[in-house]
Structure 1
Amino acid sequence: MMTEPTDLMQGFDPAFRDPAHYILDITQRIWEGRGLPLIRDWYAADCPVRTPLSETRDVDTVITGTAATLAAFPDRELLAEDIILAPRSPGFYSSHRIFSPMTHLGPGSFGPPTGRAVKVRTIADCLCRDNRIVEEWLVRDQGAIARQVGLDLLSLALNFLRPGPDGGSPGPNALIARWTEPGEPIQFGDTAALAPLLEALTRLWQEGDFQQITRLYDRAASVCAPGGEEWVGYRAVEAGWFGWLAALPLGRFRLHHLICRTDPGQPVRAALRWSYHATHSGGGQFGPASHRPIVLLGLTHWEVIDGRVRRDWTLIDELSVYAQILAPKSAG
């Protein structure tokens, strides 16, 4: 059993009982309670927010983005499936997996309203101290949203790349959030127990070694995969990851952050933040090979039973991949 340091909530409002209560309460009050001005209270003014398509350091941008999402999906609910925590004394690091049912009722980045029901997952990793989020990494399954509202991801990426008011458009470098981090990955918990799984995951991505599937996953594993897909069992998991690795083969997989929780009454739970650098040199998943450099930015949650992953939630933003493929070569 893990015990949390006593100073975990040092500097936080005493109204928050513990880290999970803090994350749940501020999420509900900002989003479902429409408390957008509260973002200034709970985000540092210069908080870096990194997504697969952007990196911002301005709290006003967080407010603007939240408002835009609510305008398009005003009935969005944020249902916490899990919060995987690690101490960062003083303060803590949280990896928050959210399931959101919502309806496309307003205009926005996904086009005019369609009235279609949407279900989507997001994972938000937050470093929190002194009653504020001071750093955030966020991946939303935009491919799942696009498919459910009837949009083609290629067209959506082209729309994203349209020239702005200054006449310019983002180049490949401008599209890739700076997820490359120096040094060894930050790790918390009994991560040694996950070593065989992490080795299998790395070999799967870097070597395209699909024999690692049986070493990594339980025979009845369920993978909640990008695009809102679910793969169950070895054959489905193999076919699913093959689609990605055939298009982006033999790249470099890097783990940046790892939490391993061994809490009573629960399976071993892990939260991974990782990147994969490759070249779009294969066909299939993302169309004909473009030979463009691509960076995948991944957030993953695992439930591990008897030394194998039984449930896997992996979020990768497909829209960011298309945007990197299509970005003007002369820009960025």
Structure 2
Amino acid sequence: MLLKKSFGRIRWKALVQPWQNVDWWLFVLPVGLTVLGGVMIRSVEMNQGWTDWRQHWITGGVGLFLALAIARWRYDQLMQWRWIIYGITNVSLLAVMFIGRQELGAQRWINIFGFNLQPSEFAKLGIVITIASLLSERPASNIPVVIRTLIITAVPWTFVFLEPNLGTSLVFGAITLGMLYWGNANPGWLLLLLSPLLSAILFNVFLPLWFVWIVLIAIVAWGTLPWYRLGTFAAVVINLISGALGFFLWGLLKDYQKQRLVIFLDPDQDPLGGGYHLIQSRIAIGAGGLWGRGLNHGTQTQLNFIPEQHTDFIFAAIGEELGFIGCFLVLLAFWFICLRLVIIAQNARDNFGSLIGDRRSVNGCIPNNC
């Protein structure tokens, strides 16, 4: 009898132990947002005969299974796989250019057994793991490490930009700058990296502010670069050239990319073209009021006034059908996820765990030994 009780305790301990160090907020909130996303996608597709909501939930279920499986691995083993992950990332992005499916003027998806996969989304995770592994060994406290990180990121970024996918390519830039900052890079260097782009914009928007910007960049370069005289001269020259090349760089962008960059300032200048999405989504969110019109009862969403509302503009459907309260709760959930990740990164016991934001690195435990 005693042996039977002891065996029962061992089985119960083996069942419970893997969950003892789970961050339940980071488990429940993403799952809840995934479920909500499927509900809202189903709502906007009710009158269109589409079934993207089913694929959404299937993909979410597969993702949850993979997340639980990966949680049982030692996260530090990812460091040994960094170049394999990096290679797979680039090969998948390159494959899009040859076998990818084109839609809405962009070639971004690969169809596998009826499911549309977007390799650029997986590439975000791949580049995070690669950069984190490199910066955990050599922090970005010197210029050569920063340059190496930029070169490594430039390869997948180029593939994404050529799809073309301007939004994801900008996300790649944000990921790289964020990880360099967390990897101990001087904030002044990050500002200098951004300066050519900002200089090109300011030169064509407001010339007096562009002159002020050049002076600011000279001050930052003088105070942060190790070879301050040559570095300051180079930074100023690069920004001068970037400003002059603003018109040329603008001409390289696709028409829809140009609209995306400027139309948000005044969508009413093209109400039936590039500004249509923004105007209709604004109407939908405003129509929702405080509590919303109710699930499946939004006029803008159910009558399909908002294009691409099951993907890019799903938040407009949330605003109309769930109201201000629904929008607030969704934004609060995302804010709390970000807060938890920052807290985890701050309290991690090793650099790699901090850079990837792994919960297990906080208490120094690993799977099967937590």
Q: Please report the TM-score for the alignment, with normalisation by the length of structure 1.
A: 0.26
Q: Which has the higher helix share?
A: 2
- The structure with the larger Rg is 2
Q: Which has the higher strand share?
A: 1
